[in-house]
A = this chain, B = another copy of it.
Amino acid sequence: MNKTTNGPFKTTETIILASGSPRRRELLADLGLDFEVHPSTADEPAPLPDEDATQYAKRMAEMKTLDVATSFTGRTVLGADTIVVLDGQIMGKPADEIDALAKLTSLSGKTHQVITAFCLFLPDGNTTTQAVSTDVDMRASGKEELESYIATGEPMDKAGAYAIQGIGTFLVTAIRGSYTNVVGLPVARVLEELLDTGIIQPRKN
């Protein structure tokens, strides 16, 4: 269990995080929340023919959350899914280094969207699912820069072949919207939901 004793919020019951992402874990830990990590093991199906990117992200977040919630009756479960979207098309993780270069080249000098959907499953069985979108402007990077970035190994397990919070920081000139949403969880929005339910509250209360 992750426990931060001096964060700004306290948790009335331990939350279950249905995600293995170290970045999401850090974001919740910064809030001071008590949570356990139980990643979903469900397979991620491809988007449906008529499904837009936001619908798909919400469906994935719900699927992961409900998959874990079935094993933990009466608990609060938080799951999320983050996707990278260029010109309406979802970009997955790169298959190999050649694919990483193709993905980074297509993002270079352009604006894309990062959409994170999260699903909060409450002890009474109610759920709330929301999606947040952030615009990300990328530098026009030459082939040598992109190859040098790929050689660091960072792009290989990332949607869109980059990480905004890591070495890939240099690829991004500006964003419009939530930064933590690009990292993997729209913290301010998730916080509002958790405060509304009464599961968390300011530590000084």
> Beta-carbon contacts of A1-37 to B below 8 Å, as 1s and 0s?
0000011110000000000000000010011100000
CA gap between A188 and B134 in the complex, in Å: 18
Question: How many residues from A make CB contacts under 8 Å with B?
Answer: 44
Say yes or no: B170 contacts A30, CB within 8 Å. yes
State whether A152 touches B7 (Cβ < 8 A): yes
Contact mask A167-194 → B, CB, 8 Å, 1/0? Answer: 1011111111111100000011101100
- Closest B-chain residue to A166, C-beta based? B30
Interface residues of A, dominant DSSP: mixed
Q: Counting chain B CB atoms within 10 Å of each CB, which of A147, A148, A191 scores highest?
A: A148
- What are the 10 closest A-B residue pairs judged by CB atoms, nearest first? A144-B202, A8-B148, A148-B202, A148-B203, A173-B188, A148-B204, A8-B149, A147-B204, A145-B202, A176-B176
The interface of chain A, by Cβ under 8 A from chain B, is 6-9, 27, 30-32, 134, 139, 142, 144-145, 147-149, 151-153, 164, 166-167, 169-180, 187-189, 191-192, 201-205
